[in-house]
Amino acid sequence: MNKTAAVIGALASAAVLTACGPDDSMTTGGGSSSITATSSAAGAASTATATSVAGSPRTDETATFTATTLHLEGDGYKLDVPQVSGGKADARAEFNQGMRAGAQEWIDRISGPGDSVTGGSDSQVVHIGAHVLSGHLVTIMYSAGAAHPNSFDSAHVTNVDTGTAITLSDLFTDLQQGLDVLSTQAQTLVEQNPRAAGYSKSQLTPVAEHFRTWVATPEGMKIYLGEIASHAAGNIDITVPWSALDGVLKPGMRAVVGS
């Protein structure tokens, strides 16, 4: 059973998590620890502290999930990774490890001097629902010799009831039918966004790669599409209402992702 020790500073309103049990361990290139992580790319140990930044205890049976942040800092990177504390141990561990893995993917892309990764201000635990956890991580990549940095989105969704990740294949009764609906909905919604003028329709074709970065919200499936128009326009996101997906969602899935 996972236990988390919290150290609460005098007069401080935020709790700093200083130790985690095996269920919350973070696997990196150099080992597993919630306190110290080693990036195989950076080659140096980094500190990782989780600080409570948002959320309040729920009053239902999942009553203890709270949004937190895991701070990662090392040679060439500084990230605040969305996490949760409390709640069901298996769901908590799956969500936290999934978000941590998203951060590690970009840390591992640091190839030498001049390359670096920092966290974006939009990173957050997007939604804590009765049956679902959703998190969004923004990473800003600076590459040696490049005129401008690039921003990338990572996201992770966890089924609280099963303690497993929810992927596109888990969402839809038939994956291709689900992707077809997402593609149609995406084109309609993107065309309503002035920032996406001149967007690339090839980036919205019904293939999983184009829709793999998403979170579950009560309003719908929020999808981070990336730079589908221009670098100046930035990353584009849309929210497809769950009602538009009712015909292709697996039985019972709407109750999970819409909670």
CATH of the domain at 248: 3.90.640.20
**82/84 Cα distance (integer angstroms):** 7
Q: Which residue has the tokens 């561990």?
A: 93
Q: Answer yes or no: is pLDDT of 47 > 90.
A: no
Convert the pLDDT of each residue in 198-220 to its tens digit. 888 889 999 999 999 999 999 99
Question: CB of 84 within 8 A of CB of 68?
Answer: yes
pLDDT tens figures, 218-253 = 999 999 998 877 777 678 899 999 999 999 999 999
Q: How confident is the model at residue 5 (pLDDT cuts 50, 70, 90)?
A: very low
My answer on whether 60 and 157 are in the same domain is yes
pLDDT, tens digit (0-9, with 9 covering 90-100), for 74-83: 999 999 999 9
Tokens of 239: 């929210």
Ranking 78-92, 124-138, 139-153 by mean pLDDT, the lowest is 139-153
**CA–CA separation, 15 and 85 (whole Å):** 11
Residue 240 carries which DSSP code? E
115 and 16 in a single domain? The answer is yes
Q: What is the mean pLDDT of the chain?
A: 80
Q: How many domains does the chain have?
A: 2
Q: Are residues 89 and 134 in the same domain?
A: yes
Close Cβ partners of 70 (under 8 Å, ≥ 6 residues apart): 26, 34, 48, 49, 50, 80, 81, 82, 83, 96, 99, 100
* Per-residue confidence (pLDDT) for residue 2, from 0 to 100: 39
* Shared-domain flag, residues 156 and 190: no
* 34 and 160 part of one domain: yes
Confidence of residue 63 (pLDDT cuts 50, 70, 90): low
pTM of the model: 0.78
Q: What pLDDT shows up at residue 233? A: 64
Alpha helices in 156-217 (DSSP H): 168-171, 175-190
Chain segment 97-136, per-residue pLDDT in tens: 999 999 999 999 998 889 999 999 999 999 999 999 999 9
What residues contact 169, with CB distance under 8 A and at least 6 apart?
175
Do both 121 and 175 map to the same domain? Answer: no
Measure the CA–CA gap between 243 and 22, rounded to whole angstroms. 39
**140 C-beta neighbours (distance < 10 Å), count:** 16
What does the buried/exposed string (b/e) look like for 228-255 if buried means 16 or more CB atoms within 10 Å of the residue's CB? bbeeebebbbbebebebbeebbeeebee
Query: How far lies 103's CA from each of 18, 183, 200, in Å?
Result: 20, 27, 27
Element (H, E) at 160: none
Residue 143 has pLDDT above 50, yes or no: yes
Query: Is pLDDT at 196 greater than 70 in this prediction?
Result: yes
For residues 29 and 75, which has the higher predicted lDDT (pLDDT)? 75
- At residue 182, does pLDDT exceed 70? yes
> Are residues 8 and 112 both part of a single domain?
yes
**Structural domain boundaries enclosing 44:** 4-165
Which of 165, 199, 233 lies at the terminal end of a domain, its last residue? 165
Same domain, 154 and 192: no
